[in-house]
Amino acid sequence: MSRSMPGQDAAMLQDMSPLLKIRAERDRMSAIERRIGDFLLDNAHLLRDYSSQQLASALGISQSSVVKFSQKLGFKGYPDLKFSIGEALARADAGPGVPHPAPPAQPPHMALGDALWRGKARAREETSVVNPVERIDAVVQAIAGADRVFLCGMGQDGLHARSFGLRLALHGIATVAHSDPLSMAASVHTAHPRDVLVAFSEHGRQSDLCHLSRRFRERRGYIVSITRHSANPLRAHADTPLLVCAHDEEGLVESLIYQAALEHLLDMTLLLLCRRSGHLSVDERDRIGQTPHAADP
Give the separation between CA 216 and CA 197, rounded to whole angstroms: 7
- Measured between its terminal Cα atoms, the distance across the chain in Å is 32
Give the separation between CA 182 and CA 188, rounded to whole angstroms: 10
User: Considering the chain, what is the average pLDDT of its residues?
Assistant: 83
Q: At what angle do helices 156-170 and 251-277 cross, to 10 degrees?
A: 20
Q: Is the pLDDT of residue 252 over 50?
A: yes
Q: Is the pLDDT of residue 101 over 90?
A: no
Q: At what angle do helices 133-144 and 251-277 cross, to 10 degrees?
A: 60
For residue range 160-215, what is the model confidence (pLDDT) as tens digits? Answer: 999 999 999 999 999 999 888 888 888 998 999 999 999 999 999 999 999 999 99
The predicted structure's pLDDT at residue 219: 93
Cα-atom radius of gyration of the chain, to the nearest Å?
22
pTM: 0.69
Tell me what the mean pLDDT of segment 112-140 comes to. 90
Q: Is the pLDDT of residue 21 over 90?
A: no
At residue 9 the predicted structure's pLDDT band, cuts being 50, 70 and 90, is low
Strand, coil or helix: what is 241?
Answer: strand
Sign for the CA dihedral angle at 220, 225, 229, 232 comes to negative
The predicted structure's pLDDT at residue 92: 67
The predicted structure's pLDDT at residue 249: 83
The predicted structure's pLDDT at residue 280: 46
